[in-house]
Structure 1
Amino acid sequence: MSHAKCRPANSEKEAISLEDLKALLGESQSLLLVDVRSKEEVDKGCIPGSIHIPVDSVESALALDPAEFKAKYGVTKPPLDAPDLVFHCHMGKRGKVATDKALEMGFQNARNYAGGYQEWSKKEGK
């Protein structure tokens, strides 16, 4: 009886570091990086390659059928087993809320970039 696919609810796997995110941005063809900040925040700057879905829209966005998701966000909707689905906000809290929601919906590899845009802009900034 194998439990290899089971993992604790608050596993370290749910968070991703700046270094890991940079590596994914450079090499993953399947990465979907979702910025869950407000439109006003995103207008001031964003992580290149991210798509914007405000935190209060994450559940409804992930519930869309693939054609509606593609039409609305311009990218392919991630499958439930998408290997690289990462959420982020400014400092980590809303990203965690979005990650938890995605995990509840069955997106088993959803992760939060806890450093958020604040860390990104400080270390990778303009």
Structure 2
Amino acid sequence: MHESWLGYPFGVADLNLDSLTIVPHCPDTHYDAYAEVANLSQTHTLAHILAETLAKPRYGLKQVKRILVLNDNSFSEDLFQLVYRSTVYRLWKRGDSGMRFYEYEGGKGFEVVLEGLDGRRLRTIDEEIKRLIKTPD
């Protein structure tokens, strides 16, 4: 997103957002002979785009404190969990440790909180990696 928008959300340099909601839409491919390949390719691409957008430096997202990514039900629960897991892993691998994570149940979406907490128990990137790969503390 930051590459196609010249480093700014939607290409607007003075956009001042506290929260950004992204609702990616998965094209309908379940009738296609290559549906599985297309779906996996789309989840890989989305995870890459999200990780790059959230990565340090956050380019034009400097004011954004929270990013909410919602599933519009065009992704299956399993595919959307793959997007989430891949995004978290990519950020962890890059060393972006200041973020907090909250995954909604049932593949409905997830939040990445970049600044501030609102009383919910949000997980650090290390805690989330441990939870995702189910390692003991």
- Which one has the bigger helix percentage? 1
- TM-score for the superposition, normalised by structure 1: 0.31
Normalising by structure 2, we get a TM-score of: 0.30
Larger radius of gyration: 2
